[in-house]
Amino acid sequence: MKKATPALTGPAREAVIGIAAGVLVALSLPPFGWWPLGCFGLASVAAALPGLGLARRLVLGAGWGLAQFAIGIAWTEQFSAYGFVVLLVVCAAFTCLSAAIVPTGRDWTVTVGLPASVMVVTWTRDRFPLHGFPLAGTELGQASGPLEWAVKLGGGLLLSGETALVGVAIALVAKAVYRHAKGNSRQSLRLPALAVSVACALPLAGWLSPSGAGRRLSPLRVALVQGGGPLGTRAINTDPAVVFNRQLSESAGLKPPLNLVVWPEGMLQADTPFQYSAQAGQVAALARRLSATVVAGVVQNLSSAKYLNEAAAWSPAGSVVATYVKNHLVPFGEYIPDRPLLSKYFNVADVPRDAIPGHSPAFMSTPAAPLGVLISYEVFFGARARSGVRAGGQLLVVPTDDASYRGTQVVGQELAAARLRAVETGRWLVLVSPTGYSEVVRPDGVVDKRSSLSVATVLEATVGRRTGRTVFVELGDKPFVLGALALWLAVAVCGAAGVSSWRNRRV
């Protein structure tokens, strides 16, 4: 007679649960986009946490993080296998921390502690190390679901906590149903009911909160020019003149009336002040022909080792009237941290120069309208969009360059981030890439128009201008992370006191 295979016990059980949870969260992210799986992944974590010691929580968190980010940042392997491993370990360390700091004495401590821990750790991960790396974050998986309305209150940070809270509610309801089926009808339903109520109330409160519309303004007629070209092409292997000419050729068919024309990131490259280059003259001629403001990405070379990644605006008269220098730079993409040290051990030839970051709000004042400007990677940071809107931006403009990436993983996550930025600021958002996706996003997060990948195309749309402020624009996410930290401390103290009291009664 065959012996029954024993069920997994000890750390192996937590490792399997963690890996399953991480896979579910990863499948909620673009390009998959099955948003409910993110909630069920965190429900698995919540169900496993009560009563676990620190070592087993670390195993659970490691399995969760390694699975989520091995899938979520798989695209980084295209550029550096070593970089992929480093990023994977760093990101998994944050999920380990999320699981490790949850007070796990009772169901109620996990109910409050897991969302609070996720928020505190997410806030840290978005800022450290190297100014943060938010790609493949849990909140990106909710950009297409009903929970996204929470961002109007507390940005992506609150959305990450809301996702964890929904996961906790699912775990509590499932546990209550199981206990009832086993005949334990005396089990209180107050905690599951409370978790479900709060989980439903947050996105509803966000949906009902101020929209950011403000006073009624005349709309803008906008054209997004996508020059086309193959995916998976690195900038160092591309002739800048070819890229520029694609943009110029596709712009030749534009006709008035237009208020604003947007080109992607890095379309002009200059070794001398770009305003006096031949390419700038051609952009100026386009602006004059259309009697429209033209915004285009500029790479301004300062030396053989340094450059600026900028967006510049040409007025309908053909003069450069505003510039914005990218603040949030891509580590190991636009600069090498501690280059002298790392160059001794690794090949850094693919990033031959370091960009110099700007330090201004994400804003440009143009004849078309005051614009909030996020260059590429900056769209993943809610604080950048908030700074542009608080400076007066009535429309969010995102010039980007996704030509280096094969597949749809990065461009899909970028679109998810764009949707969150539109909802949390209450602004229309236009994003343009040389190879796609280019898109127009409404303030409610709905994608109004989207291009195909690799093809040359022009998207024209009528977009609204807005002047009001959402709760997130007004307050930012600091009140919510401070609230989460206060809740975590209260639960940790009360949970520890409760465990101590229970042990004393047992003696």
Sign of torsion over alpha carbons 242, 243, 248, 253: positive
Q: Determine, yes or no, domain membership for 3.
A: no
Give residue for tokens 């980010």: 69
Query: What is residue 1's DSSP assignment?
Result: -
What are the respective helix, strand and coil percentages of the chain, to the nearest 5? 50, 15, 35
Answer yes or no: is pLDDT of 368 > 80: yes
Evaluate whether residue 292 is within a structural domain. Answer: yes
Angstrom distance (rounded) from CA 25 to CA 477: 23
pLDDT value at residue 349 = 82
Same-domain pairing of 67 and 87: yes
Strand-pair category, 429-432 with 354-355: unpaired
> pLDDT exceeding 70 applies to what percent of the chain?
95
- pLDDT value, residue 186: 63
Predicted confidence at residue 502, as pLDDT, reads 39
Tokens of 419: 């949707």
Task: Give the tens place of pLDDT for each residue, 312-342.
Answer: 999 999 999 999 999 999 888 898 888 888 7
Is 214 part of a structural domain of the chain?
Answer: no
The Cα–Cα gap between 124 and 129 comes to: 9
At residue 409 the predicted structure's pLDDT band, cuts being 50, 70 and 90, is: very high
> Which DSSP category does 335 fall into?
B
Residue 497's pLDDT band (cuts 50, 70, 90): low
pLDDT exceeds 80 at position 8: no
Question: Is the predicted pLDDT of residue 235 greater than 80, yes or no?
Answer: no
For residue 439, the surrounding DSSP H or E stretch is strand 439-441
**Exposure class string for 386-399: b at 16+ Cβ within 10 A, else e:** bbbbbbebbbbbbb
Cα gap 32→27, rounded to integer Å: 6
Residue 282 lies in a domain: yes
Do residues 200 and 229 both lie within one domain?
no
Contacting residues for 239 by C-beta, under 8 A, at least 6 apart: none
- 484 and 466 both lie in a single domain: no
Does any domain span residue 297? yes
**Comparing C-alpha atoms, which of 38, 127, 142 is closest to residue 423?**
142
481 CB-side CA count, 13 A: 17
* Whether residue 482 sits in one domain with residue 458: no
Domain that holds residue 373: 220-335+342-473
Tokens representing residue 336 in the block: 């090498």
Tell me the C-alpha distance between 371 and 323, whole Å. Answer: 11
pLDDT value of position 1 = 44
Split into its structural domains, the chain has a count of 2
Evaluate whether 38 touches 22 at the Cβ level (below 8 Å).
Answer: no
Asked if 147 and 163 count as a contact pair (C-beta separation under 8 A), the reply is: yes
In this structure, the answer to whether residues 155 and 245 fall within a common structural domain is: no
pTM of the model: 0.94
Same domain, 286 and 429: yes
277 pLDDT exceeds 80?
yes
Identify the DSSP state of 331.
B
* 205 and 228 part of one domain: no
Instruction: Return all residues near 192 (Cβ < 8 A) that are at least 6 apart.
Output: 169, 172, 173, 175, 176
Q: Within this chain, do residues 161 and 178 fall inside the same structural domain, yes or no?
A: yes
In this structure, are 331 and 197 located in the same domain?
Answer: no
Do 236 and 353 lie in one domain? The reply is yes
Q: Provide the CATH number for the domain around residue 239.
A: 3.60.110.10
Q: Is the Cα dihedral 142, 146, 151, 154 positive or negative?
A: negative
**259 and 155 housed in the same domain:** no
Residues 434 and 233: their CA atoms lie apart, in Å, by: 11
Judge whether 158 lies within some domain.
yes
Q: Based on the domain organization, do 43 and 79 belong to the same domain?
A: yes
> Is 215 among the domain residues?
no
> What one-character DSSP code corresponds to residue 356?
P
What is the number of alpha carbons within 13 Å of residue 45 lying toward its C-beta? 42
pLDDT tens for 62-111 read 999 999 999 999 998 887 777 788 889 999 999 999 999 998 878 888 99
CA distance 16 to 21: 9
**Numbers of helices and strands, H then E, in the chain:** 14, 14
> Is 88:133 a contact under the CB 8 Å cutoff?
no
Task: Establish if 4 belongs to a structural domain.
Answer: no
pLDDT band at 495 (very low <50, low <70, confident <90, very high): low
Q: In Å, how far are 270, 367, 477, 503 from 156, measured between CA atoms?
A: 36, 31, 8, 40
